[in-house]
Structure 1
Amino acid sequence: MLDARLRNLIDPALDRMGAGLARAGFSADAVTLAGLSFGLIAAALIAMGQPGWALLPIGASRLADGLDGAVARATRKTDFGGFLDIFSDFVFYGAVPMGFVWADPGANGAAGAFLLASFYTNGASFLGFAILAEKRRMQTSARGVKSLYFTGGLLEGTETIAFFVALCLWPGGFAPLAWGFGALCFVTAVSRVLLARKVFPPET
């Protein structure tokens, strides 16, 4: 819901930083993998009972996630780069909740499973929509220049990162927060299904 507004604010700065990284010889894929590595470090810290410290690699991971596209725009965009970016995002989004489950399986297991199921469902609706949008050659840059068609929704990347930060600041509240956020993820997925039914009507 907030991604499009946020992109307008952060893209100019990201583009300047990305151009600088490109001049220094960094590739977009390398930045993507660095972001994924930071995300996995954050998940490991959470699993070890250090969610407060996990905020640092989470921030670094999301900064890299914004910079890889800026580096690609300053050099050369590739289909594999787009694939690696979305793959890394999905791994990150799954790893952080798993960190909380591993930290306390008894207290967080059921809520974590529900949250991950909601992420899976929401991701399926997102990727399914993107596939059909590509088939119909639809384009949008509302959430930045992407390799895939990004649909909006009640919960997007900005809201998810805010949710992860809240979990790290209040790890004892993982279960109620996960149940609530997971429910909203399912609402987002259903709304995307309804949008797809409207945008992609049966062929006659």
Structure 2
Amino acid sequence: MLDGAVRKHLDPILDRLGAALARGGVGANAVTITGLALGLVAAVLIAGQYYLAAAIVIVVSRLCDGLDGAVARATRKTDFGGFLDIVLDFAFYGAIPLGFIGADPQANGLVGGLLLFSFYVNGSSFLAYAIMAEKRAMTTDVRGAKSLYFTTGLAEATETIAAFLAFCLFPTWFPLLAALFAVVCLYTALSRIVLARTRFRDVE
């Protein structure tokens, strides 16, 4: 929901940084992999209950996630790069709740599992919609030039990062905050299913 507004302000900065990295010989895929590596470090820090340090690493990780596209735009966009970006993004999204489950399995285990379930459902609805959109040659630039069709929703990258930072800043509230965000993710998936029912009607 907030990605469009955030991108409007952040993209010019990322494009300049991405162009500088490209001139220095840094590849987009290397930035993507670095972003995941930092995300996994954040998950380990969370499991060790170093929450503030994890929050800082999460921010840097997601800056890498924005920078990889900027580097690609400054050099050459590839299908593999787009594939790698989305796969490693989902790996990051799964790692952070897993870190909170590891930090306190008794308090966070059940709701952490619920959050991962909601990510699974929301992510599959996003990817399935993209596949059907590609099949029908649908295009959109609502979230900028992407390697696959992006549908908007209540829970997008900005909201997810904000939720992760809230988890880190208020770790004792994780069960409540995670449950609320799981509901938001499931609502987003449901709204995408309703949209797909409207857009993907077959002609009799």
TM-score range, shorter chain: over 0.9
Regions of 4+ moved over 2 Å: none
The equivalent of 2:81 in structure 1 is 81
Question: Which stretch shifts more, 150-159 or 135-144?
Answer: 135-144
| 1:51 Cα offset (Å) | 1.1
| Distance in 2 (alpha carbons) for counterparts of 1:72 and 1:181 | 31
The equivalent of 1:15 in structure 2 is 15
| 1:5 Cα offset (Å) | 1.4
The equivalent of 1:122 in structure 2 is 122
The equivalent of 1:58 in structure 2 is 58
Report how many aligned residue pairs link the two structures: 204
Q: Which runs of 5+ in 1 are unaligned?
A: none
| Distance in 1 (alpha carbons) for counterparts of 2:175 and 2:132 | 35
| 1:10 Cα offset (Å) | 1.0
| Distance in 2 (alpha carbons) for counterparts of 1:139 and 1:19 | 26
Q: With structure 1 as the length reference, what TM-score do the two structures score?
A: 0.98
| 1:202 Cα offset (Å) | 2.2
The equivalent of 1:110 in structure 2 is 110
Amino acid at match of 2:73: R
The equivalent of 1:158 in structure 2 is 158
Amino acid at match of 1:98: L
- 1:111 aligned counterpart, secondary structure: helix
Partner deviation per Cα, 1:148-188 (whole Å, 9 max, x = no partner)? 11100011000000000000000000101111110111111
Query: Considering only aligned residues, what root-mean-square deviation do their CA atoms show, in Å?
Result: 0.7
Q: With structure 2 as the length reference, what TM-score do the two structures score?
A: 0.98
| Distance in 2 (alpha carbons) for counterparts of 1:184 and 1:7 | 21
Amino acid at match of 1:148: L
Partner deviation per Cα, 1:73-127 (whole Å, 9 max, x = no partner)? 1101111000100011000000000000001000000100100000000001000
| 1:129 Cα offset (Å) | 0.4
Amino acid at match of 1:90: F
Amino acid at match of 1:42: A
- 2:77 aligned counterpart, secondary structure: coil
1:182 aligns with 2:182: yes
Q: Give the fraction of aligned pairs with identical amino acids, expressed as a percent.
A: 60
The equivalent of 1:44 in structure 2 is 44
Q: Which runs of 5+ in 2 are unaligned?
A: none
| 1:137 Cα offset (Å) | 1.5
| Distance in 2 (alpha carbons) for counterparts of 1:56 and 1:177 | 19
The equivalent of 2:27 in structure 1 is 27
